[in-house]
Amino acid sequence: MLEQLHSLEDQALDELRGMSTTAAVEKWHVAYLGRKGALTLFLRSVGQLPPQERPAAGLEANRIKTGLERAYIEKVEALHAQAAAGRLTTEQVDVTLPGRPVGPGHLHVITQTLRDIYSIFSAMGFQVLETPEVETDENNFQLLNIPPYHPARDMWSTFHTTRDGVLLRTHTSPGQIRAMRMYYPQPIRVILPGKCYRYEAVTSRHESMFYQVEGLAVGHDVTMGDLKGVLTEFARLMFGAERQVRFRCSYFPFTEPSAEVDMDCIVCGGKGCRLCKGTGWLEILGSGMVHPQVLRNGGYDPAKYTGFAFGMGPERIAMLKYGIDDMRLFYANDLRFLHQFA
């Protein structure tokens, strides 16, 4: 029995020495050391030997198995080293060749859109004010007329943190409270840009992270006419002087009255097409007069002050401006797409 083992060992090692490819070595491993390999089958048959022969046979078989495993690993490493050396010989790099030129970078399309928005509202006297992305439930909801368990909270799918009452802001509207408390009792004219987060499925129209730009104006004689004038001017400066704007009644807990703002379709000019779904109009943002209770929460007396607010998504503005039909393209890091806006 031991002679058979030694003969099997010599045969296996002779075959292994003559192999020159990793594929052949893998087949060798299966033939001798696999589940149905020659040595594996012998180890399974040790129990059938006479009791006095089993210890010696088992010990020798395990020694041979360990040796063959070591020889297999050494052969594989030798073949890999040989292949690497061959590649170094055949794939030499001419270090004297000039490198590929590195072109200048450029701003991301959303950054460009944000800067366009900043420029337009800055010309109308609005300051840019950044507020935290991690907010309190009080600022994000309660002070905006959305108390706990109010059904209006279903409009925002919220990312909560492990700390009670702390969340990732679902919109930039809590910046209204921060701005009012910062500037009181002075008049306010600010825009509040930044990232927002919602627990939503990522689709061609939705992302779990997106940008918003909030606008807020508070003073003694701020009217709905002022809001309409500001947003009409914005639409024409952003999309073209010929644009027409309409306001539709809507609902937001923190404004009263509230309005959605539409612009005539930039493709068909209001005649109806695929982009505007045959309506001739494209929704661009939401707006309204600041609710008296929200003014009060910010420190302003609604009997003396009025204000308007609006909110827009720069991604949607960019999609309309450049004719993009999938929001996911902005954050997919596909340079073929992004280089179009260099």
Per residue in 29-44, pLDDT (tens digit) is 888 788 888 777 777 7
pLDDT class of 105 with cuts at 50, 70, 90 = confident
- Average pLDDT (119-133) is 96
More confident: 215 or 48: 215
d(CA 41, CA 35): 8
Q: Whats the size of the chain, residue-wise? A: 342
DSSP assignment string, 58-92: HHHHHHHHHHHHHHHHHHHHHHHHHHHHHHHHHS-
> By the 8 A CB rule, do 211 and 118 touch?
no
Tell me the average pLDDT of the chain: 89
Q: Whose CA is closest to 295, among 215, 184, 191, 205?
A: 184
Burial class (CB in 10 A: 0-12, 13-18, 19+), 24: middle
d(CA 216, CA 130): 13
More confident: 62 or 120: 120
The overall pTM is greater than 0.75: no
d(CA 36, CA 56): 22
CATH superfamily name and code, 109-341 = Bira Bifunctional Protein; Domain 2 (3.30.930.10)
pLDDT class of 98 with cuts at 50, 70, 90 = confident
Q: Give 214's Cβ-side CA count (13 Å radius).
A: 25
Share of the chain above pLDDT 90, in %: 53
Q: Distance of CA 69 to CAs 10, 30, 39, 301, Å?
A: 14, 11, 11, 84
Q: Strands, DSSP E only, in 220-339?
A: 245-252, 255-264, 281-290, 306-312
3-state secondary structure 134-201: EEEHHHHCHHHCCCCCCHHHHHCCCEECCCCCEEECCCCCHHHHHHHHHHCCCCEEEEEEEEEECCCC
- Average pLDDT (152-163) is 84
More confident: 260 or 61: 260
pLDDT at 151: 83
pLDDT at 31: 84
For residue 257, give both structure tokens.
């009255």
Which of 26-40, 221-235, 275-289, 327-341 is least confident?
Answer: 26-40
Q: For 40-69, how does the pLDDT look when each residue is reduced to its tens digit (9 = 90+)? A: 777 777 777 777 777 777 787 788 788 888
Pairing of strands 166-168, 159-160: antiparallel
Distance between terminal CA atoms of the chain? 77
pLDDT at 100: 84
pLDDT at 1: 61
Q: For 171-204, how does the pLDDT look when each residue is reduced to its tens digit (9 = 90+)? A: 999 999 999 999 999 999 999 999 999 988 888 8
Whether residue 283 is predicted with pLDDT greater than 80 in this model: the reply is yes
Helix axes 314-322, 109-123, angle to 10 degrees: 100
pLDDT at 294: 96
Domain borders along the chain are: 2-90, 109-341
**Farthest CA pair distance, the chain:** 108
**Number of Cβ within a 10 Å radius of residue 280:** 16
